[in-house]
Structure formats: structure tokens, C-alpha cells
Structure 1
Amino acid sequence: MSKHEAPNADLAELIRTIPDHPKPGIMFRDISTLMLDGGAFAATIDRLADALANGNEGDPPELIAGIEARGFVFASALAYRLGCGVLMLRKRGKLPGPRVSVEYALEYGTDMLEMHDDACGPGASIVLVDDLIATGGTALAAVELLTSRGAHVEQALFVIDLPDLGGADRLREAGVSTHALIAFDGD
């Protein structure tokens, strides 16, 4: 990598951009093409682990919380690498047992995140992981859900940030240290 190349440019090159999906004017960042490359996927997990280690002075977290669905993949691999448990944050109606939920606003309507009511408790140290952060609505709802159970969410990791949409800044304003490996300008 030259000194002028962006950090993680090797990974960014493997992410396919699909114009006008799901609607005109949107540049969809398709991470599945990166995930198809075993070496690149392993490098992504290693770099997320390094980012976590660099941003954390204390012990590793107890749990890595992944947001449905691609967040599960990255959270699981990262948790394996760190020796942590995995907490799945699901969309409405997917969990079979007693659960807690939080509703949050979308551009057109609302959605809901849920987790089992015994998935974490007061004082649990949790890092939030997802593939991409855009406006931050889902990530902020995830933090709200976890902290409503008394958990501590001080860090969030993403493979991709769309900084023009402001989600990472919103998380930081909420007191969550945020790191993404790759930033794509524009939406």
C-alpha cells in the first residue's frame, strides 16, 4: 500500500458498489464480495480485533453483540477470535423465548430490535458490531436496548462507515467510541 492509499484500501477494493439499490440515488455497498474472499475476511476480523485492542485499556468484553443479519457473521468471528460470547440482536418476532425490545424510527415508519431477556445483565461489558453504519438509527437502538438491561456499551465496530450520513458521529455523541475499517464518501 502506498503512503497515499487509504487505510484498509485492500479490503475496500473487494466491496462491490451497486448503484441505485434499493432505490435511485443510493450507492449500495455490498460486503458479500469481501466475505467471499477467505483471506480478506480473516484480515477484516483481525483488523477489527486490533481496533478493539487499541481502543480498550482493560479486559476484553464479555460479549460481542451483532445486529441482524450480517452483523452476526462479523460478531461471531470476532467473538471466536477474542474468546467472548456472542449476543444476537434480532429483528421483531425472531426470538422464541422471553425477550426485551426497543422500537426505533426508520425513514418511513418504525422497526424493532429484540434480545432474550436473560442475554445480558447489569454490568456486562459489550462491544457492538455490524457490517455497516449509515444513519446510526439501528446502532443507537441496539445501544439503548443493551443499556436498558444495565450493560455497558463503550465501543462499536463496523467494517464500513458512510460518514456523510452521520451515524458514527451520533454514536460518539451518545458516548460510544466508534471505529470503522473503511469509509465511503456519499451515501
Structure 2
Amino acid sequence: MKEWIREIPDFPQPGILFRDITPLLANGPAYKSAIDKLAVFARELQADVIVGPEARGYVVGAPLAYATETGFAPVRKKGKLPGNTVRVQYQLEYATDELEIHADAIQPGQRVVVADDLLATGGTMAATIELVQKIGGEVVGAGFFIELTHLNGREKLPLHLPILTLVQY
């Protein structure tokens, strides 16, 4: 997978090495292979629903839901979902943000795999997991294309949670 992940230095700011998945997305066989690997993981965990945060979580979560023949529930920034939502606030590096999910996106007790392109500091995924739990879902796993291990994102996720990352840096 690493051959399909482009490194862009000094983006979005000096000193950051951005890991860009767009070459992977542009290569049909590589993209399919990544989704297929996550699908094996989600099937083993008997997922009922895949949940992904906007925006890149959609390019992982939606095809993963398709591949596993499960539902997909999007998590969005505050004010972007119509209807009745549940919200959590979470800490960013220098500010706070809020994420929402539809209150009826997951039925109580459904088994959920959360998916995103990248596990970095873990803040977005921890908030996503909290949302799923607030509406009664049971988070049974988390899947990512990339993990930046030096940022210790796993530490913000539940200790027992099975996690699959396809590439680690």
C-alpha cells in the first residue's frame, strides 16, 4: 500500500509531512485491495453497520459497507445533518469542534466498525466512537488505511478495541 501513498512535505503547514491517499484512490486495484482487507476484518467482527467521519471517512466507510453488505452511517460536522441528531464536542490541538450523527442511524445493540483514512491523534475517532455509543451502538472494531504511530492515536481509543491499519508510519 505504501507505494500508493504520496508524501507531501510542508502541507498543510511547514514541518508537516502529509500522507496523501489520492493516488491509492485513483488506482482501482489498489483501492479495491485496501477495501477488501478492511472488509475481511469487518466480517470477522460481524459488523452490522460501518460508520465513517467526514470527509475522507466516507471514501473508506461507504465502499466498506458496500463490500460487507452492511449499512453506512455518516458522521458530520455540526449543522450538516438534517433531522434529529446527537452531538459530541471534542478537543482539537488549539480549539474544539463538534461532530453529529443521526439519532436513528444505528439501532441499539448493532455491531459497528468505525472506519477512516487515517488514525493520527485519535481525537476524531474517539468522538466518533462516543457518538455511536450515545445512540446505543456497540463499537466492535476500527479500520484505517494509515496510522501515524508517533502521534499515539490508539491511546485515545478503547483499550479492548480491535484495530486494523493497513500502513503504519
Q: TM-score range by the shorter chain?
A: over 0.9
Query: What is aligned with 2:110?
Result: 124
Partner of 1:77: 63
Shift of 1:53: 4.0
Q: Deviations over 1:82-122 (max 9, x none)?
A: 11000001111111111111000000101111011111132
For residue 46 of structure 1, what is the amino acid of its counterpart? D
Q: Report the residue type matching 1:20 in the other structure.
A: D
1:182 aligns with 2:167: yes
Pairing 1:153–2:143 present: no
TM-score normalised per structure 1 = 0.86
Q: What is the CA–CA distance in structure 2 between the aligned matches of 1:44 and 1:102, rounded to whole Å? A: 30
Identify the residue that residue 122 of structure 2 maps to in structure 1. 136
Structure 2 runs not aligned, ≥5 long = none
Inter-partner Cα distance in structure 1 for 2:92 and 2:126:
12
- Identical pairs, percent: 45
Which residue in the other structure is 1:18 paired with?
A: 8
In the alignment, the residues of structure 2 paired with residue 141 and residue 116 of structure 1 have an alpha-carbon distance, to the nearest angstrom, of 14
Answering whether residue 59 of structure 2 is matched by residue 48 of structure 1, we say: no
Q: Which amino acid aligns with 1:179?
A: L
- Which residue does 1:65 correspond to in 2? 51
Q: Flag structure 1 segments of 5+ consecutive residues without an equivalent.
A: 1-10
Between structure 1 and structure 2, the one with the greater Rg is 1
Q: Flag as ranges the 4+ runs of structure 1 deviating above 2 A.
A: 50-54
1:130 to partner: Cα distance: 0.2
Q: CA RMSD in A?
A: 1.2
Aligned length: 169
The amino acid of 1:51's aligned partner reads F
Contact 1:17 1:28 in 2 (8 A): yes
Residue 8 (structure 1) aligns with = none
Whether the 8 Å contact between 2:47 and 2:140 is mirrored in structure 1 is no
User: Does structure 1 retain, via aligned residues, the 8 Å contact 2:83–2:102?
Assistant: yes
